[in-house]
Structure 1
Amino acid sequence: MAFDSGTETVSNLDAPIAKKVPTRREHHGDVFVDEYEWLRDKDNPEVIGYLEAENVYTEAKTAHLESLRGRIFDEIKARTQETDLSVPTRSGDFWYYSRSFEGKQYAVQCRCPIDASAEGIDAWTPPRLEADTEVSGEQVLLDSNELAADHDFFALGAFSVTQDGALLAYSVDTVGDERYVLRFKDLRTGELLADEVSGTAPGATWSLDGTHVFYQTVDESWRPDTVWRHRLGSTEDDVQVFHEPDERYWVSIGTTRSEKYLMIWIGSKITSECRVLESATPEGEFRALLPRREGVEYSAEHAVVAGEDRFLILHNDVVDGVKAENFVLADAPASDPTNLTLLIGHRDDVRLEDVDAFADHLVLSYRREALTRIAIWPLTESGYGQRHELEFDLELFAVGAGANPEWEQPTLRIGLTSFISPVQVFDYVPATGELLLRREQPVLGGYDVEDYVQQRDWATAADGTRIPISLVWKRDAAAVGPKPLLLYGYGSYEASMDPSFSVARLSLLERGMVFAVAHVRGGGEMGRLWYDNGKTLTKKNTFTDFVSCAQHLIDAGVTTAEGLVADGGSAGGLLVGAVANLAPELFAGILTNVPFVDPLTSILDPSLPLTVIEWDEWGNPLADKDVYAYMKSYSPYENIEAKPYPAILASTSLNDTRVLYVEPAKWVAKLRATKTDDAPLLLKTEMSAGHGGVSGRYEKWKEVAFEFAWLLDTVGLADR
Structure 2
Amino acid sequence: MNFDDAVASEALRLRSVTDRLLSELGTADAASETRAPATRSPVWIEDGRLLYRAVGEGGGPDVAELVAGRPVGNVASWLALHDKGLVAVCLRDPGGDEYELLVFRVAQGLGRLIHSDARVSPAVRSCGDCLVWVQRDHAHRPHRVLAWSEDDGLRELYIDDDPRFRVSLGSADGRQVVVFSRGAGCSEIALAEHQNSSVGFSVAIVVPREENSVCAAALTGGYLTILDRKAQHLRVGQRGRMDRTEFPSGFFGERVGVVDGLVYVEGRMDGRAAVWCPAWGVAALWVAPYGGVIQPARVDGRRLHLGVSSPIHPLEMCIGADDGSWDVAPTPRPDVDAGRLWAGGRDGTDIPITLFRSAPADGDRPRPVLAMVYGCYGIPLDSMFDPLIALLIESGIGVALCHVRGGGEWGSDWHSAAKGRWKSRSIDDYLACVEYLADRPDVDDRRIGCLASSAGALVATSAVLRRPDLFAAAELVHPFLTPELILADEDAPLAATDWEEFGNPVSGDGWVPSVSPLAFAEQMERTDLPKFWIRAGSSDFRTPLWSIEAWLDVMTSVQGQSWPAPVVQVGAHAHSGPSDGPEARAANCLAIGWLVDALG
**TM-score exceeds 0.5:** yes
RMSD (CA atoms):
3.7
Asked if the contact 1:80–1:503 (Cα under 8 Å) also holds between the matched residues in 2, the reply is: no
Q: Quick one: distance in 1 between partners of 2:341 and 2:61?
A: 48
For 2:348, which of 446, 459, 464 is the aligned residue? 464
Tell me which residue corresponds to 2:268: 367
**Aligned amino acid, residue 59 of structure 1:** A
In structure 2, relative to structure 1, the CA distance for the partners of 1:482 and 1:467 (3 Å cut) is same
Q: Quick one: distance in 2 between partners of 1:75 and 1:99?
A: 30
Please say if 1:266 is aligned against 2:181.
Answer: yes
Q: Quick one: distance in 2 between partners of 1:167 and 1:432?
A: 40
In structure 2, relative to structure 1, the CA distance for the partners of 1:231 and 1:302 (3 Å cut) is closer
Asked if the contact 1:163–1:208 (Cα under 8 Å) also holds between the matched residues in 2, the reply is: no
Asked if the contact 2:438–2:445 (Cα under 8 Å) also holds between the matched residues in 1, the reply is: yes
State the secondary structure of the residue aligned to 2:239. coil
Asked if the contact 1:83–1:99 (Cα under 8 Å) also holds between the matched residues in 2, the reply is: no
In structure 2, relative to structure 1, the CA distance for the partners of 1:176 and 1:477 (3 Å cut) is same
**Aligned amino acid, residue 538 of structure 1:** W
Q: Which stretch of the first structure deviates more once superposed, 391-400 or 70-79?
A: 391-400
In structure 2, relative to structure 1, the CA distance for the partners of 1:506 and 1:341 (3 Å cut) is closer
Tell me which residue corresponds to 1:644: 528
After TM superposition, list the pairs within 5 Å mapping 1:470-489 onto structure 2.
Answer: 470-477=354-361, 479-489=363-373
1:450 deviates by 2.4
**Aligned amino acid, residue 529 of structure 2:** Y
Asked if the contact 1:303–1:359 (Cα under 8 Å) also holds between the matched residues in 2, the reply is: no
Tell me which residue corresponds to 2:297: 402
In structure 2, relative to structure 1, the CA distance for the partners of 1:453 and 1:297 (3 Å cut) is same
1:247 deviates by 0.7
Please say if 1:68 is aligned against 2:17.
Answer: yes
Tell me which residue corresponds to 1:315: 228
Q: Quick one: distance in 2 between partners of 1:365 and 1:671?
A: 42
For residues 595-646 of structure 1, what are the alpha-carbon distances to aligned partners after superposition, in whole Å with 9 as ceiling and x for unaligned? Answer: 00001111122122221122222232322x4x2x211122101211222211
In structure 2, relative to structure 1, the CA distance for the partners of 1:251 and 1:482 (3 Å cut) is same
Tell me which residue corresponds to 2:212: 295
Asked if the contact 1:195–1:233 (Cα under 8 Å) also holds between the matched residues in 2, the reply is: no
Please say if 1:278 is aligned against 2:193.
Answer: yes
Tell me which residue corresponds to 1:669: 553
Larger radius of gyration: 1
Tell me which residue corresponds to 1:330: 235
Q: Quick one: distance in 1 between partners of 2:537 and 2:87?
A: 31
State the secondary structure of the residue aligned to 2:596. helix
For 1:59, which of 5, 8, 12 is the aligned residue? 8
Tell me which residue corresponds to 1:635: 516
1:432 deviates by 12
Tell me which residue corresponds to 1:320: none
Q: Quick one: distance in 2 between partners of 1:375 and 1:175?
A: 36
Asked if the contact 1:493–1:531 (Cα under 8 Å) also holds between the matched residues in 2, the reply is: yes
In structure 2, relative to structure 1, the CA distance for the partners of 1:697 and 1:233 (3 Å cut) is farther
For 1:424, which of 296, 299, 316 is the aligned residue? 316
Asked if the contact 2:85–2:107 (Cα under 8 Å) also holds between the matched residues in 1, the reply is: yes
In structure 2, relative to structure 1, the CA distance for the partners of 1:646 and 1:434 (3 Å cut) is closer
For 1:240, which of 156, 181, 188 is the aligned residue? 156
In structure 2, relative to structure 1, the CA distance for the partners of 1:360 and 1:712 (3 Å cut) is closer
Tell me which residue corresponds to 1:29: none
1:449 deviates by 2.5
Q: Quick one: distance in 1 between partners of 2:118 and 2:265?
A: 36
How many aligned positions are there? 593
In structure 2, relative to structure 1, the CA distance for the partners of 1:409 and 1:221 (3 Å cut) is farther
Q: Quick one: distance in 2 between partners of 1:207 and 1:310?
A: 17
In structure 2, relative to structure 1, the CA distance for the partners of 1:328 and 1:714 (3 Å cut) is same
For residues 354-383 of structure 1, what are the alpha-carbon distances to aligned partners after superposition, in whole Å with 9 as ceiling and x for unaligned? Answer: 3335787542332111112223333xxxxx
Q: Quick one: distance in 2 between partners of 1:663 and 1:608?
A: 12
In structure 2, relative to structure 1, the CA distance for the partners of 1:259 and 1:370 (3 Å cut) is farther
In structure 2, relative to structure 1, the CA distance for the partners of 1:460 and 1:201 (3 Å cut) is same
Q: Quick one: distance in 2 between partners of 1:157 and 1:411?
A: 29
TM-score normalised over the length of structure 2: 0.88
For 2:108, which of 178, 189, 193 is the aligned residue? 189
**Aligned amino acid, residue 608 of structure 1:** A
TM-score normalised over the length of structure 1: 0.74
After TM superposition, list the pairs within 5 Å mapping 1:60-209 onto structure 2.
Answer: 60-78=9-27, 82-83=31-32, 97=41, 112-113=55-56, 139-140=62-63, 154-162=73-81, 164=83, 166-174=85-93, 176-187=95-106, 189-209=108-128
For residues 9-60 of structure 1, what are the alpha-carbon distances to aligned partners after superposition, in whole Å with 9 as ceiling and x for unaligned? Answer: xxxxxxxxxxxxxxxxxxxxxxxxxxxxxxxxxxxxxxxxx2xx22223322
After TM superposition, list the pairs within 5 Å mapping 1:17-56 onto structure 2.
Answer: 50=1, 53-56=2-5
State the secondary structure of the residue aligned to 1:388. coil
Please say if 1:656 is aligned against 2:599.
Answer: no
Asked if the contact 1:350–1:527 (Cα under 8 Å) also holds between the matched residues in 2, the reply is: no
Tell me which residue corresponds to 2:139: 221
**Aligned amino acid, residue 316 of structure 2:** Q
1:85 deviates by 11
1:111 deviates by 6.0
1:260 deviates by 4.5
1:389 deviates by 2.8
In structure 2, relative to structure 1, the CA distance for the partners of 1:394 and 1:464 (3 Å cut) is same
In structure 2, relative to structure 1, the CA distance for the partners of 1:673 and 1:147 (3 Å cut) is farther
For residues 127-182 of structure 1, what are the alpha-carbon distances to aligned partners after superposition, in whole Å with 9 as ceiling and x for unaligned? Answer: xxxxxxxxxx9945789xx999978xx43333122275842211223363433222
Q: Quick one: distance in 2 between partners of 1:427 and 1:291?
A: 38
Larger proportion of strand? 2
Q: Which stretch of the first structure deviates more once superposed, 416-425 or 353-362?
A: 353-362
Tell me which residue corresponds to 1:508: 392
1:482 deviates by 1.3
Asked if the contact 1:213–1:232 (Cα under 8 Å) also holds between the matched residues in 2, the reply is: no
Identity %: 20
Asked if the contact 1:183–1:193 (Cα under 8 Å) also holds between the matched residues in 2, the reply is: no
1:682 deviates by 1.7
Q: Quick one: distance in 1 between partners of 2:205 and 2:432?
A: 46
1:330 deviates by 2.2
**Aligned amino acid, residue 102 of structure 2:** R
Asked if the contact 1:484–1:560 (Cα under 8 Å) also holds between the matched residues in 2, the reply is: yes
Tell me which residue corresponds to 1:37: none
Q: Quick one: distance in 1 between partners of 2:473 and 2:52?
A: 41
Gaps spanning 5+ residues in structure 1: where? 1-49, 89-93, 117-136, 318-323, 379-384, 442-447
Tell me which residue corresponds to 1:684: 569
Asked if the contact 1:574–1:636 (Cα under 8 Å) also holds between the matched residues in 2, the reply is: yes
State the secondary structure of the residue aligned to 1:286. strand
**Aligned amino acid, residue 633 of structure 1:** S
Q: Quick one: distance in 1 between partners of 2:321 and 2:247?
A: 27
**Aligned amino acid, residue 576 of structure 1:** A
Q: Quick one: distance in 2 between partners of 1:698 and 1:367?
A: 36
